[in-house]
Structure 1
Amino acid sequence: MENGLLDRVEGNTNVHRWSEQTQLEKGDSVAVGYVLELPDYTRISVTQNNFQELKEIWDQWDNETKHLFYGNYGDLPYLLDVQVDEHLFRALAQFWNPAYSCFTFGEVDLVPTVEEYTALLRCPRFQSDRIYSRAACVFAFWKKLMTITGMSEQWIMARIKEKGEYKSISWDALKGLILSHPDEAKKVDVFALSLYGLMIFPKALGYVDEATTDLFH
């Protein structure tokens, strides 16, 4: 256990060093003359999806299925037990710098990068040189869902919903797949997609949206 923790700390340090070097080489993307103005007051909602069903599914899985998940997606299930500190989120919101997409404390800029998260959570499918890339030809939402779930076009199209400006699929539909899918690997994939959509990049409560599948796929 200790070696695993040290490996993650070392990996996170390497990512931090790479991030600093990239910043020095490429410089800022904000216009010259930009002046930081943090808001005096910020209203923030910390409403979350209910993760109880995700936890129950994870607890019911045997060690073989869990090891399959860890091998493909790292330690993401650990996030299910992390308690959100509402007061901390409200305090941090006062220091969010939208131009740089980071937190600014005096003269110090701070933001956890996706690379740092993947180092800490040991997400093996992420590649540091591709983390922000986007394919020139992006598949339609239903096609991405077909690839991830292994289900037919008819099954997918019947379950896609419009949530505001985005297409989404409900957690209820994904939960049914996780509980009944005959393919163990696909069941793990759908569970991972649900973690991404409901816990890490949520937009509409109870739904996984198209933007999440762009990153996941």
Structure 2
Amino acid sequence: MPDVKELRNLTSYVLDPLGFKARYGKLLPLLTTQVDEGLMSTLVQFYDPLYHCFSFPDFQLLPTLEEYAHLVGIPILDQVPFSGLESIPTSREIVDLLHIDESLIEAHMTTKGGIQGLPSDFLIAQATVYGKAMSEDAFEALFVLLIYGLVLFPNIDKFVDVNAIRIFSVLNPVPTLLGDAYFSLHLRNVKGGGVIVCCLPLLYKWFISHLPQTVAFKENKGCLRWSTRLMSLTNDDISWYDRVYDTVQIINYCGEFPNVPLLGTCGGISYNPILARRQLGFPLKDKPHNILLEGVFFQEGKDPQGLKVRMVRA
């Protein structure tokens, strides 16, 4: 988990929290979400690499585009999602985005881990200057970019990479957020361990939204471990459906794919909304055919089947 203490300090310069939420979505709550790392390290062990979901003894759960869009407060159909084929923003474009002198951008633009970006210390210092000057537009641009770079799309410590800048500038972050979550879970499974690199507060908020809301479960008087608590859950314990999705258009498939392909910042993966019908208020009438659950996965730079091009077309 990135250290977001400095970002929390910057929230004191948000002059109009309701206006901020209307413009950028529910980003501020992600800064104060206390992620239970014990729960998350247990949850990843339930990831099912065959069906790209979490499989428990009595049920399956999987994060959906619709749930992520609701949790982050940004409608899915608003803008185009990230494809990774976008050009790298020029210094001039970053200046227009962030209201900072071009000479400053050029002096601080650097490459880490093979990707260009800006150090977060530099961006935090600039945001603080604009915050103190009550220069709302300039402050918000920097502050939101920092949230994108350090919380939504974390990659390298204390560094906001060009992918975060590209997504923040014009694109809808929701499909990429979900893509990064699935990609990271799947890659960890393929490798047999490792760190999950995605927006953990969002994955955590999604999962706890389905856990039992009873006092007994929350209090855990027996001090049971998370693995025991999750293994003992049944179909009837789960908080399945939220009425907020009553009017939401559900995306079940995309283009030539029988399911939904997602492009993350490090590669692509498909997910199977048909398995989540109960979460979104629909009964699952039959067992899905394996063809519908065809698993697609590739890492950036390792894509012999040309899956990325097919996904972008979809």
Using the size of structure 2 for normalisation, the TM-score is: 0.46
Cα deviation code 1:86-117 (max 9, x no counterpart): 11221122233457654344695533234422
Cα deviation code 1:6-29 (max 9, x no counterpart): xxxxxxxxxxxxxxxxxxxxxxxx
Q: Are positions 1:207 and 2:156 aligned together? A: no
Cα deviation code 1:174-204 (max 9, x no counterpart): 1112111254112112111111111121111
Alpha-carbon distance between aligned partners in 2 of 1:191 and 1:117, rounded to the nearest angstrom: 21
Q: Aligned letter for 1:173?
A: F
Checking the alignment, whether the CA contact within 8 Å between 2:82 and 2:167 is kept in structure 1 is no
Shift of 1:166: 1.3
* Structure 2 unaligned blocks of 5 or more: 170-314
Q: Aligned letter for 2:28?
A: P
Q: Which residue is 1:92 aligned to?
A: 43
Checking the alignment, whether the CA contact within 8 Å between 1:197 and 1:212 is kept in structure 2 is yes
Checking the alignment, whether the CA contact within 8 Å between 2:14 and 2:20 is kept in structure 1 is no
Q: What pairs with 1:48-87 in structure 2 (closer than 5 Å)?
A: 48-58=1-11, 60-61=12-13, 63-64=15-16, 66-87=17-38
SS in structure 1 at match of 2:38: helix
* Structure 1 unaligned blocks of 5 or more: 1-47
Q: Aligned letter for 2:26?
A: D
Checking the alignment, whether the CA contact within 8 Å between 1:178 and 1:191 is kept in structure 2 is yes
When residues 141 and 90 of structure 1 are mapped into structure 2, their CA distance, relative to the original with a 3 A threshold, is farther
Cα deviation code 1:143-186 (max 9, x no counterpart): 55323212233211211121112112111111112111254112
Aligned positions, number: 166
Alpha-carbon distance between aligned partners in 2 of 1:99 and 1:130, rounded to the nearest angstrom: 31
Q: Which residue is 1:37 aligned to?
A: none
When residues 204 and 141 of structure 1 are mapped into structure 2, their CA distance, relative to the original with a 3 A threshold, is farther
Q: Are positions 1:187 and 2:139 aligned together? A: yes
Report which of the two has the higher share of helix. 1
Q: Which residue is 2:89 aligned to?
A: 140
Cα deviation code 1:128-154 (max 9, x no counterpart): 264535497534364553232122332
Q: What pairs with 1:17-166 in structure 2 (closer than 5 Å)?
A: 48-58=1-11, 60-61=12-13, 63-64=15-16, 66-97=17-48, 101-105=52-56, 109-123=60-74, 126-128=75-77, 130=79, 132=81, 134=83, 138-140=87-89, 142-166=91-115
Alpha-carbon distance between aligned partners in 2 of 1:152 and 1:78, rounded to the nearest angstrom: 31
SS in structure 1 at match of 2:54: strand
Using the size of structure 1 for normalisation, the TM-score is: 0.64
Checking the alignment, whether the CA contact within 8 Å between 1:169 and 1:207 is kept in structure 2 is yes
